[in-house]
Amino acid sequence: MDPRQRPYRSVLYIPGSKERALDKARSLPVDAIIFDLEDAVAADEKENARETLKAALAEGGYGQKMRIVRINGLDTPWGRADAEAVREMDADVVLLPKVGSAADVDALAAITGDLPIWAMMETPRGMLNAAQIAAHPLLTGFVMGTNDLAKELQTRYRGDRLPMMTSLGLCLLAAKAEGLIAIDGVYNAFKDDEGLAVECAQGRDMGFDGKTLIHPAQVDIANAAFAPSEAEIDLARRQIAAFAEVEASGQGVAVVDGKIVENLHVATAREILAKAEAILALQAG
């Protein structure tokens, strides 16, 4: 599946050290998995986690789910060995934490070659350099690290995420300018379904492609929030049909449900239908 066209509604973190979770993920309906060697793995487990993950990926069974491996930073004792190991793993993407500049991406690419790279956007410097990071030729996705960002910015948690908005907006602008995938940060309270649904809806409204998750119970909520709704699909079909009709009579503006429809709205409608089809294709396996 074309990486740009495929769905990224649910992107689940799995600690690379947890064999049971690595196995469970094979049967979960997630669009992508972040196999984590960084924050979800304790320092004395780092080496074991690398081997455990390598074996799990070699065994396979993850179907069409995108396989993303998050390594430790190259400034840590484990980063270089992780990056060298990823080269040998059956992974689709390598995810670099705490990216501050395009030079950080260069340093990883010097080890991982032409493997696509995603960047964790989670530091103030990363926010200020988002445009240059996004423009790196091997960079294909941004993942928001809202926990680290909250720590660095010394913000307080708010349900409306107001203290995060500048950072989320800067990264979205940079990602959209370069045609990157943009995935929203995690919702820590993994037993609070209502709060997660609100945050997913906000992320979807802002233009994120999906949400990073920490627990299987969060998957269905994200999948629903980031998929086109039945109402959106129905409207998209009617917009396309109405525009085709006026276009045939030499006009450039249709009206559907009391709102104008121009060629740009038709482009959005086509994207909605394409996304719905891509989700069906992924589900069909």
In the region spanning residues 153 to 192, those forming contacts with ligand LIB3CWND, defined by CB under 6 A, are: 185-186, 190
Q: Is 44 annotated among the ligand-binding residues?
A: no
Rule CB under 5 A: say whether 36 interacts with Mg ion: no
Q: Which of 156, 154, 152, 116 is nearest to 136 (CA)?
A: 116
Rule CB under 6 A: say whether 215 interacts with ligand LIB3CWND: yes
Q: Which of 16, 79, 126, 145 contacts ligand LIB3CWND by CB under 6 A?
A: 145
- Shortest Cβ contact with ligand LIB3CWND: which residue? 147
Q: Is 38 annotated among the ligand-binding residues?
A: no
Q: Which of 8, 11, 14, 187 contacts ligand LIB3CWND by CB under 6 A?
A: 14
Residue 190 vs 256, nearer CB to ligand LIB3CWND: 190
Rule CB under 5 A: say whether 145 interacts with Mg ion: yes
Instruction: Please provide the DSSP assignment of 187-240 as one string.
Output: -S-TT-HHHHHHHHHHHHHHT-SEEEESSGGGHHHHHHHTSPPHHHHHHHHHHH
**49: amino acid identity, one letter:** A
With 0-12 / 13-18 / 19 or more C-beta atoms within 10 angstroms meaning exposed / middle / buried, residue 28 is middle
Residue 67 vs 238, nearer CB to ligand LIB3CWND: 67
Residue 247's CB is within 10 A of a number of other CB atoms, namely 14
Q: 192 phi and psi, to 5 degrees?
A: -100, 85
> Max CA-CA distance within the chain?
70
With 0-12 / 13-18 / 19 or more C-beta atoms within 10 angstroms meaning exposed / middle / buried, residue 73 is middle
Reduced to 3 states, what is the DSSP secondary structure of residue 54?
Answer: helix
Residues touching ligand LIB3CWND, count (CB under 6 A): 23
Rule CB under 6 A: say whether 122 interacts with ligand LIB3CWND: yes
Q: Is 70 annotated among the ligand-binding residues?
A: yes
In the region spanning residues 95 to 134, those forming contacts with Mg ion, defined by CB under 5 A, are: 122
**Where do we find the tokens 């503006």?**
253
The β-bridge partners of 253 are: none
Residue 95 vs 282, nearer CB to Mg ion: 95
The interface region with Mg ion, picked from 10-18, 55-63, 142-150, 258-266 by CB under 5 A, is 142-150
The β-bridge partners of 2 are: none
What is the CA 133 to chain-centroid distance, rounded? 16
CA distance 135 to 76: 25
Rule CB under 5 A: say whether 148 interacts with Mg ion: yes
Q: Which of 115, 214, 225, 282 contacts ligand LIB3CWND by CB under 6 A?
A: 214
CB of 53 to Mg ion, least distance (A): 18
Residue 119 vs 282, nearer CB to ligand LIB3CWND: 119
Binding site for Mg ion (CB under 5 A): 122, 145, 148
Binding site for ligand LIB3CWND (CB under 6 A): 12-15, 20-21, 24-25, 36, 39-40, 120, 122, 145-148, 185-186, 190, 214-216
The annotation places the binding site for substrate at 70, 122
